[in-house]
Amino acid sequence: MVVSVLATVMLRIISNQARLTHHQVSRIQSQYAAKAAIVYTLDKLRRNDDASWPAVGQFTKRMCRSGCDINEGGLPSSIQRVDITVYAPGSGISNTRRISAKAIYTYP
């Protein structure tokens, strides 16, 4: 009986540790996805090669694997979407535009 209780406790500890590790990996992936979205946005704004990226005003774009404003098939499966907001000119430091990205991820 003692061995059975110890085995159950050990399995529970291992299971909890595996869930925690998976959650941390999902969080880190979402952080890097948000950073990548900001770099992508900066590149689009610098090159000004796409008419759907307005030069004035505030706008939001959504990045996901498919069916969004920006389709990125390389996103990890835990990332549902990344919402990118570009604020109006003059909203950032030294009269620049502020950019923010928010990654939405799931943890099963």
pLDDT digit string, tens, across residues 30-83: 999 999 999 999 898 888 877 777 878 889 999 999 999 999 998 998 899 999
Give me the pLDDT at residue 108, please: 64
The share of the chain scoring above pLDDT 90, in percent, equals: 58
DSSP bridge partners of 79:
105
Domain borders along the chain are 2-105
Give me the pLDDT at residue 51, please: 75
Give me the pLDDT at residue 68, please: 92
User: Distance between CA 90 and CA 103 in Å, rounded?
Assistant: 25
3-state DSSP call for residue 6?
A: helix
User: Distance between CA 67 and CA 46 in Å, rounded?
Assistant: 25
Q: Check whether 103 has a pLDDT greater than 80.
A: yes
Tokens of 35: 């950073």
User: Distance between CA 78 and CA 32 in Å, rounded?
Assistant: 12
